[in-house]
Amino acid sequence: MTFRVCFVCTGNICRSPMAESVFRARVGEAGLLDRVEVDSAGTGGWHEGEAADPRTVSVLDEHGYGSDHVARQFQPSWFARLDLVIALDAGHLRALRRLAPTEEEARKVRLLRSFDPAAGDDLDVPDPYYGGRDGFEECLEMVEGASSGLLAAVRERLEGRAA
């Protein structure tokens, strides 16, 4: 059975495609590409059909990650097929939980940085869109920091399914 994870930010051109690329790489390194599907979307459809922001692509490329991406908007119907919906900040978390058709599906929504023990109380990944390149680098650091904990949680869920 496939475990499905979807990362969600505002427009699906900066943070969520970055998280998707980094997490897909971690899943690949763990040898789990055949068991874990990684995706991303935005809470809004402003950028549907567009590639990731060029600064996102540049930072990902410089750090050895793939960056093939087409933006799209998250749909409430997706909850039924997803195992985890990963919000990049508290605003996305609230919006996604409101979209969830049931309480059970709302519990699938988690903040990315909640998987990073070093994150402390600040669990938001700031939107780098209106700033400079350093914001995209900071975003990547936060995403990488949370990816190991997220991978551990996904592994645990996969092992639970196999039992």
Instruction: Report the catalytic residues.
Output: 9, 15, 127
Please give the structure tokens belonging to residue 98.
């409101």
For 121, which DSSP code?
Answer: T
Cα angle, residue 149 at apex, residues 148 and 152 outer, rounded to 5°: 90
In single-letter form, the type of residue at position 56 comes to T
116 to 129, 131, 142: CA distances (angstroms): 23, 24, 8
Strand positions, DSSP E, the chain: 3-9, 36-42, 84-87, 109-111
Distance CA 8, CA 127 (A): 12
**DSSP assignments along 24-44, one per residue:** HHHHHHTT-TTTEEEEEEESS
Edge-first strand order for the sheet with 84-87 is: 36-42, 3-9, 84-87, 109-111
